[in-house]
Amino acid sequence: MMADLPLVNQDPYQELGLDPSVSDADLRKAYFTLVRLHGPEKDPVRFKRIRAAYERLSTPERRLETDLLRPQPWAAQPLPPLDRDPGLWAQDVLRAARSLSDLDRRHFREDCREVKS
Amino acid sequence: MRNANPEPSSPQHPSALRPGSHGYGGLDDGFKAFKKEKFTEAIQAWGSLSPDSLPQLKPALAEAHFRRALGQADRSAAIPDLRDALGLVPEDGRFWYHLGLALHQNGELKGAREAYALAARHGFPRREPLAYVQGLLELEAAHGEVAPGMARALPGLCLEEDLIAPVRALLMRDWTTLAALAPFPAVPHAKGTPAVPGMVGLLRGLGQVGLGQWAQGLQTLGSLAPDLLPGPLEALRVVFLGRALERTGRGADARKIRAATLARTQNATLGAEVAEASLAEMEALLAERRWTPVVPAARELLKHFPCARARGVAAIALDQLGREAFAEGRWGEAANHWRELLRLGGEDLPGKAACAHNLALAWEGQEQWDQAASAWEAALAAMPKRITKTRVKAGTAFGGLSPEALIQRREWIERRALELRQRTGMTDDVLRQRKALIKRNPKDLDLRLEQVAMLLDEGEIRAADREISAILRIDPEHLGALEASARVLLMRGLAKPAETVLRRVLAIEPGRAFARRALAQVLAARAVNLPGAADQTAVAMLEEAIELSPKEGRFRLLLADRLLNGHAAEQAQAQLEAALALGPEAWREVFGFWVNRRDLAQLKALVTRGEALGVLDPEFYIDGGLDCLRVAEESGRVAKAQAWAAFCRVLLDQAAAHGPSLDQLRDLVSYLLVPHPELALPYAERAAELGPTHPMVLMDLAVAQSGTGQVEAAKATLLKVERVARTHKDRREAASILGLLRVIPALGVHSLHATFCRVMEELEEDFDSESEGDS
């Protein structure tokens, strides 16, 4: 049975204050530290949440699922340089040169011939 | 100043068309139309004649096609006429020249090159403009290697003497030569083409700015009127004027003039400069993490200047906006941002798999399973496809992930997409996709078993059986497959072989829940069908069923029934006691057991005991009462029927006394209403107390009252329904009450007919007039 998308603010990494790249050993260490701070008698609600978060992350299958139900980091590529000619784009020079030619003309009376009856 | 528009040259092919002498009316008509420059009419008139019988017609008709071609605003539209003209007079260089121009403008450089060459071969008289466009064509053909291409092509340019140096300088960005142009020389232009006023000023200004002489350049270029130059030259002026303005501290003026010009003219240099300024602003916003204003600005920029950097800036902003929306549960917004990011990035978007992955999550957040499945599939498609064992062994990483991690992710996503497709109910798609997945991972037995379960649900028993056999070939003791196999056998009505398979499962894993329950059911079904003479066998089978599924009271009741039939009352009682210990639901089942055996005394004893223990609830009494009512209705003997009916009343009164819910009362009333209105009435009244404005409850009460002769009370209740409908705020709800009222005649409550008709008439009139008012 597939798990649904976790509700907003139910990120187990956030709950444990960890980065998703945390190793298993560091995960365990962080869990025990938090459990000592928020024991079941001292802070039962938080304890329950910490435990649930740890349970999600300590099982490989559930951790994979947790990881994949979070937005994936999208490494934006370094911005490419602006594609520009330092002085003048060749196509603009060509376009200007064209404007001196018949290509940009409309009237060619000199090329016409009379047809006599 | 040279003559830009020389007088039409005298015809080299004077076509002596003398219509009168040939007697062809068409010739004359064509000539008249030609004179009036109605070339289409001329072509029609001359086209109807045979050029072979009138050889002089060909040049005239060709000229008409040529003239019509020259009149076309869109040069590519002129091509058919030019080809027609050439079909008639192929040796006319003018036609080839203009065909070359049309093809050149159309980007068909190869065809244009050939046409220009033929124009030259056939003696096109304006050799310089022809040589100039030939030179330009070669420059354009050298696209991608522009500078060397230009250098090679320059000797081919045939320009007026005083234009060669400036144009060569412009093409080679030789600003020194341009800046040194005399202030007022003769205006250069291509020989044989119209002069361009302001040309020298432009070239000199470009040179000055190119050399960093900002003030002089500003003065030279600023003195040229904006409408003096053709568009492409004006754009060059603005490029350099903008640079001069910027360097002289007038950046705002530079931005203004660039934007205004770019809106009118296409110019890549100008576009890049506007883009650069705009990108600098957007990148400053990104640095401040202000994503929102970046997106519309980037969209606007991309419309005019599509460049990778602007796409990159937009992508960063869209991704961040998507993440912010996602983190706050605004799934729709997140999906829109990520969708736009994917669209913007196209096929080459780096990290496309991650973007599609995130989009899938956003769709899932909206419960848009179909779109989510498609996004997951897109994410899969963007992931590396071939992950060979060698690469896995070598530990080659893919985008920061180990091959093993990547394989795990792929498999998870594949299953996720499949499960989502399943949620959309697209079973065929799921079966097909899973089949493909199985083909790639034939040893994934869990996956194969999922396929079996779906095939069985779809009734595709043969396909399921094949899949089960495939699993069992790989793992003959696969418990899930063996259970599925038993299920197939049961679906085919083969209880005994199913029993064998289930026993095999339990021999491997005795605690297997499905197999235990299924075997218990098989045994119970077989025991029930055994004849009375086989009581011993049946009892043994039922005892085994109980042992396999001890929490199912049904098997104990079946056993108790067999035992009672065999006069083993004590043992039967023990089974019934064990069943009752299973909970409140079992009390209803035991009640049903005694109803089936028509044992009123046992029923009464059971109820007394249940009441004493406090385990009976309204539902028990209602179900029990209705069971007794059914027995009473079926009973042929009056005394017996009365006894059962009396007990029915006792139970239903107990139900009413135990605080039933409105829904329970409504169910009871609807069951009793038509056949037994007198029985229904007290419960309908009680329901009306709980739901005094519930139209359906009131209507039931009206029907019950009418059925028991309380006609006036029934009318009053019906009018109450009318009031409820009128005061209802939601018109659709009110309309549905009206719909309910229409049911009354179908109930055969004749005493209510007149009231019903009046109420309906008034209500419907009101609704009609309101509808008219609305319209």
CB B354 within 8 A of CB A73: yes
Residue B725 has pLDDT above 60, yes or no: yes
Q: What is the pLDDT of residue B769?
A: 47
* Interval B644-661 mean pLDDT: 92
Helix axis angle, B294-304 relative to B308-327, nearest 10°?
Answer: 150
CB within 8 Å: A110 and B126: yes
Residues from chain A that touch B315, judged by Cβ atoms under 8 A, are 76
* Interval B661-675 mean pLDDT: 87
Q: Which class for B723: exposed (0-12), middle (13-18), buried (19 or more C-beta within 10 A)? A: exposed
Distance CA B485, CA B449 (A): 11
CB B555 within 8 A of CB B545: yes
Measure CB to CB from residue A114 to each of B8, B101, B233 and give the nearest one.
B8
Q: What is the pLDDT of residue B13?
A: 39
Local confidence band at B15 (pLDDT 50, 70, 90 cut-offs): very low
Helix axis angle, B39-47 relative to B57-70, nearest 10°?
Answer: 150
CB within 8 Å: B98 and A111: yes
**Which amino acid is it at B41?**
E
Range of weakest confidence among A39-48, B201-210, B421-430: B421-430
Distance CA A26, CA B580 (A): 54
Q: What is the 3-state secondary structure (H, E, C) of B747-767?
A: HCCHHHHHHHHHHHHHHHHHH
* Mutate: best of B46, B76, B380, B412, partner A, most A CBs <10 A: B412
Q: Which class for A16: exposed (0-12), middle (13-18), buried (19 or more C-beta within 10 A)? A: buried
**Which amino acid is it at B49?**
L
Per-position b or e across B627-652, b if 16+ CB within 10 A of its CB: bbbebbeebeeeeebebbbebbebbb
Residues from chain A that touch B156, judged by Cβ atoms under 8 A, are none
Place of tokens 């039939």: B565
B43-46, long-range: CB within 8 Å, 24+ apart, which pairs?
Answer: B43/B68
CB B764 within 8 A of CB B738: yes
Minimal CA separation from A110 to chain B, in Å: 4
Local confidence band at B148 (pLDDT 50, 70, 90 cut-offs): low
Calculate the alpha carbon distances from B41 to B28, B33, B44, B66 in Å. 12, 6, 5, 14
Residues from chain B that touch A64, judged by Cβ atoms under 8 A, are 408-409, 412
Distance CA B644, CA B628 (A): 6
Give residue B133's Cα distance to chain centre: 50
Minimal CA separation from A56 to chain B, in Å: 16
CB within 8 Å: A101 and B319: no
Residues from chain B that touch A115, judged by Cβ atoms under 8 A, are 11, 15, 17, 31, 34, 59-60, 63-64
Instruction: Report phi then psi at A71, rounded to 5.
Output: -60, 135
Measure CB to CB from residue A96 to each of B16, B70, B236 and give the nearest one.
B236
Residue of B nearest to A81 (CA): B309
CB within 8 Å: B316 and A76: yes
Range of weakest confidence among A67-76, B169-178, B747-756: B747-756
Residue B393 has pLDDT above 70, yes or no: no
DSSP B4: S
Place of tokens 């008409």: B64
Beta-carbon neighbour count of residue B464 at 10 Å? 23
Residue of A nearest to B334 (CA): A71
CB within 8 Å: A73 and B70: no
CB within 8 Å: B129 and A75: no
CB within 8 Å: B230 and A99: yes
How many C-alpha atoms does B198 have within 13 Å on its Cβ side? 17
Q: What is the 3-state secondary structure (H, E, C) of B397-452?
A: CECCECHHHHHHHHHHHHHHHHHHHHHCCCHHHHHHHHHHHHHHCCCCHHHHHHHH
DSSP A84: -
CB within 8 Å: B408 and A64: yes
Alpha-helical runs (H) found in A18-82 = 24-37, 44-58, 60-68
DSSP A86: S
Q: pLDDT (tens digit, 9 = 90+) per residue, B363-375?
A: 998 888 889 999 9
The pTM of the full predicted model, rounded to 2 decimals, is 0.51
Q: What is the 3-state secondary structure (H, E, C) of B734-751?
A: HHHHHHHHCCHHHHCCHH
B82-86, long-range: CB within 8 Å, 24+ apart, which pairs?
Answer: B86/B62
Distance CA A20, CA B288 (A): 25
DSSP B211: T
Q: What is the pLDDT of residue B761?
A: 60
CB B314 within 8 A of CB B302: yes
Measure CB to CB from residue A100 to each of B9, B190, B315 and give the nearest one.
B190
Residue of B nearest to A110 (CA): B8
Measure CB to CB from residue A88 to each of B173, B316, B326 and give the nearest one.
B173
Q: pLDDT (tens digit, 9 = 90+) per residue, B555-568?
A: 999 999 988 887 88
Measure CB to CB from residue B94 to each of A97, A98, A111 and give the nearest one.
A111
Minimal CA separation from A116 to chain B, in Å: 6
Query: B567: which residues sit within 8 A by CB, 6+ positions away?
Result: none
**Which amino acid is it at B642?**
Q
Query: B485: which residues sit within 8 A by CB, 6+ positions away?
Result: B465, B468, B472, B501
Residue B736 has pLDDT above 50, yes or no: yes
Q: What percent of chain B has pLDDT over 90?
A: 39
Q: What is the pLDDT of residue B188?
A: 47
Q: What is the pLDDT of residue B224?
A: 87
Q: What is the pLDDT of residue B8?
A: 34
Minimal CA separation from B313 to chain A, in Å: 7
Average of per-residue pLDDT values in chain B = 82
Distance CA B382, CA A72 (A): 14
Beta bridge partners of B398: B401
Residues from chain A that touch B287, judged by Cβ atoms under 8 A, are none
Q: pLDDT (tens digit, 9 = 90+) per residue, B577-599?
A: 999 998 888 899 999 999 999 99
CB B365 within 8 A of CB B331: yes
Q: Which class for B187: exposed (0-12), middle (13-18), buried (19 or more C-beta within 10 A)? A: middle
Calculate the alpha carbon distances from B208 to B167, B218, B238, B240 in Å. 15, 9, 14, 9
Local confidence band at B546 (pLDDT 50, 70, 90 cut-offs): very high
Quote helix, strand, coil % in chain A, to nearest 5.
Answer: 50, 0, 50
Give residue B434's Cα distance to chain centre: 22
Instruction: Give SS3 for B130.
Output: helix
Minimal CA separation from A41 to chain B, in Å: 31
Residues from chain A that touch B269, judged by Cβ atoms under 8 A, are 84-85, 88-89, 92
CB A103 within 8 A of CB B75: no
Minimal CA separation from B755 to chain A, in Å: 55
Q: Select from A78, A79, A41, A117 the least CA-distant residue to B56.
A: A117
Distance CA B630, CA B588 (A): 16
Residue B746 has pLDDT above 60, yes or no: no
* Interval A56-85 mean pLDDT: 80
Q: pLDDT (tens digit, 9 = 90+) per residue, B421-456?
A: 888 777 888 888 888 888 888 888 988 999 999 998
Q: What is the pLDDT of residue A28?
A: 92
Range of weakest confidence among B49-53, B83-87, B356-360, B690-694: B49-53
